[in-house]
Structure formats: structure tokens, C-alpha cells
Structure 1
Amino acid sequence: MKIQVKNLDAAAAGDIELNDDVFGLEPRADILHRVVTWQLEKRRGTARGTRERADVARSGKKLGNQKGGGTARHGDRRAPVFIGGGKAHGARVRDFNPGLNKKVRALGLRMALSAKAKDGSLIVLDGLDVADGKTKALIGQLANLGFGTKTLVIDGEALNVSFARASANIKGINLLPAIGANVYDILKHDTLVLTRAAVEKLEARFNG
């Protein structure tokens, strides 16, 4: 698949041949759903459990006689009505650690990239250098590139410092290095922007 490469001024900067094994697959909703669900589950922290009546280390001796004491009848001090007693109906430990086959995760990422290429919301840029790292200069350039309301920009090994500084105050633009590319972030943005370095990194990731 051949796609035009642009620079930040929206001028053509040649073409790039995208690997069909990475950018030319037919997206499958079931695969994308499995990977996104796995990602969101992995983000959830382990819920801490509370100590219930059986978990509290207190005396199990009966407090007094069943009758005749003039007070309520209690069995031991582990009861929830006492300070330091067990929690009644407390939260249970819930550990969210789902598993997903590596091949399915890799296939999901390739399908997410292919989906963006297929619907025309993929833009490849020659580079991300912004003069003096100024936000005002970048806003003028982005208006001509046709970025969507929410745009994900993926760079190569590391983020371009000048672009990161200039785009920090622009709403709807998020940046990731190529190593951080993931299905959820790609799909939830309207536009996916890759640099030449990002394309090389992603293709090497799947062909290595």
C-alpha cells in the first residue's frame, strides 16, 4: 500500500510503501474487542479486601452470661458492633489480571493500524520539527493537515521535543513513542498520525 508523505506545512514530501502485513489487513471486530477489553481490564487495580469477623485477631471468649447481665447478649469481641471488630459484609479481594495470547495482541494492533489506513484517517509525516517549539506556529500548520478532533501522534524511538512542547497546550492531540502504540488509543482517536520513523519501528516490530 502506497501513501503520500507530508510535512508539517501540508506539502508533499514523497511517498512511502506501507507493509500490507501491518497496514493492509481486514479488521475484525471480535479481535479488536478482545484486545481492547484485555487492555482495560489490565488497567484496573486489585481491589483491597476488608477484614471480616473471621479475620480479626481478638478473643473468642464469650463476654458474659447469656441472660441476667442487663446488657445485650454477645458471643465475642469480633462482632462488627464493637470497635476493632470485623467488617460486616466487607469488600472482597478482586484481582483483575486477564491473559491474552501474544499473537492475538499483535494481530489486534495490526488490525487497528489497518483500520485507520482503510478509512483514510491515517496521515504519515516526514518529521515533527516545530520552529522554536511555539504553539502558535504549530496551530497554523495543523489547520492545513486536516487533523481530527482527537488526534494520536506516534513518533519513532522517542518523542520529538519541539513538537511535544508546542502541542502540550493544544486540546485533542496526544503523543506516544512507537513502543507505546496500542489498540485502545489508536481506535479512540479520530486521526492517527505516524512519522516515517514510527512506520519503520512498527513494521520492524512485527517483522523482527
Structure 2
Amino acid sequence: MKVKVQTLDAKSGGDIELNDEIFAVEPRADILHRVVTWQLVNRRAPARAARERSEVNRTGKKFGRQKGGGTARHGDRRAPIFIGGGKAHGPRARIFASSLNKKVRALGLKMALSAKAKDGNLVVIDNLDLPEGKTKELQSRLGKLGFGQTALVIDGEALNVGFARASSNLSSINLMPAAGANVYDIMRHETLVLTRAAVEKLEARFNG
């Protein structure tokens, strides 16, 4: 698959040949759904348990005499109604984690990349060099580049410092290195923007 390369000045930067085994796979909604669900489940933090009555470190001595005190009959200070007592029916420790076959995860990423290419929402940029790294400078170029409402920009091994500084104040632009490319972030942005270095890293990731 041959795709035209742009520069940040919206000029032609030549062509690039994309690997059909990565960027021309027929997307399947069930595979994409499985991978996105797996990602979101594994992002959940574990639930912290609360100490119940039997787990509180307080005396077990009877609080007061059974009769004649004019108060309710209590066994010890660990009761939930006392300050420092155990939590009644508190949350239990839970770990939210799921596993997914590596081949399915890799296939899902290929399908996400292919879906953007198929819909015409894949843009390849020569590089992300911004001499001054100013937000105003970048914002003036975005309209010409056709990034849409939201764009995920994926760079090579390391992020371009100037572009990262310029895009940090733009809510419509998210930037990440090629190593962090994932199905969920690709699918939730309107446009996927790859640099030449990102294409090389992604193809090496699947071929290595």
C-alpha cells in the first residue's frame, strides 16, 4: 500500500510503502472489542479492603456489664458503631485483571491500524520538527493538515521535544511513542498520524 507523506507545512514529502500485512488487514469488530475490553479491564486499580470487626486490633474485653448500666448491651469496642471499630459489610479486596493471547493482541493492533487506513483517517508525516515549539505555530498548521477533531500522533522511539511542547496545550492532539501504540487510543481518536520513524518502528515490532 502506497501512501503520500506530508510535512508539517502541508507540503508533499514523497511517498511511503506500507506493509499490507499490517495496514491492509480486514478489520473485525469482535477482535477489536476483545482487545479494547482487555485493555480497559487491566487499567482498573485493585479495590482496597476495609477491616471488619474481626480484623480490628482492639481489646476483646466486654465493654460494660450486661444489665444495670442504663445503656445498650455491648460485647467489645470492636463493634462498628464505635469510633475505631470495624467496618460493617466493608469492601473486600479485589484484583481486576484478565489475560488475552499475544496473537490476538497483535492482530487487534494490526486491525486498528488497517481500519484507519481503510477509512482514510491515516496521515503519514515526514517528521515533527517545529523550530520554535510554539503552540500558536502548530495550531496555525493544523487546519491545513486535516487532522480532524481529535488526532493521535505517534512518533518513533523518542518523542520530538518541540512538537511535544507545542501540542501539550492542545486537547485535540495526543502524542505517544511507537512503543505505546495500542488499540483503544487509536480507535477513540478520529485521525491517526504516523511519522516515518513510527512506521518503521511499528513494522519492526511485528516483524521482529
Measured against aligned partners, the alpha-carbon deviations of 1:1-30 in whole angstroms (never above 9, x if no partner) come to 111111112222111111111111111111
Which runs of no fewer than 5 residues in structure 1 stay unpaired? none
Q: Which runs of 4+ in 1 moved over 4 A?
A: none
Is the aligned partner of 1:19 residue 2:11? Answer: no
Give 1:72 shift.
Answer: 1.0
Percent sequence identity over aligned pairs: 73
Match in the other structure for 1:79:
79
Match in the other structure for 2:167:
167
Matches within 5 A, 1:1-208: 1-208=1-208
> Aligned partners of 1:200 and 1:170: how far apart in 2?
27
Q: Is the 8 A contact 1:131 1:137 kept in 2?
A: no
> Aligned partners of 1:139 and 1:193: how far apart in 2?
15
SS of the residue corresponding to residue 176 of structure 1 reads strand
> Aligned partners of 2:13 and 2:29: how far apart in 1?
34
SS of the residue corresponding to residue 131 of structure 1 reads coil
> Aligned partners of 1:60 and 1:130: how far apart in 2?
69
SS of the residue corresponding to residue 193 of structure 1 reads strand
> Aligned partners of 1:63 and 1:139: how far apart in 2?
70
TM superposition score normalised by structure 1: 0.94
> Aligned partners of 2:182 and 2:55: how far apart in 1?
41
Which runs of no fewer than 5 residues in structure 2 stay unpaired? none
Measured against aligned partners, the alpha-carbon deviations of 1:144-190 in whole angstroms (never above 9, x if no partner) come to 11111111100001111121122222230110010111111101100
> Aligned partners of 2:112 and 2:23: how far apart in 1?
9
TM superposition score normalised by structure 2: 0.94
SS of the residue corresponding to residue 153 of structure 2 reads strand
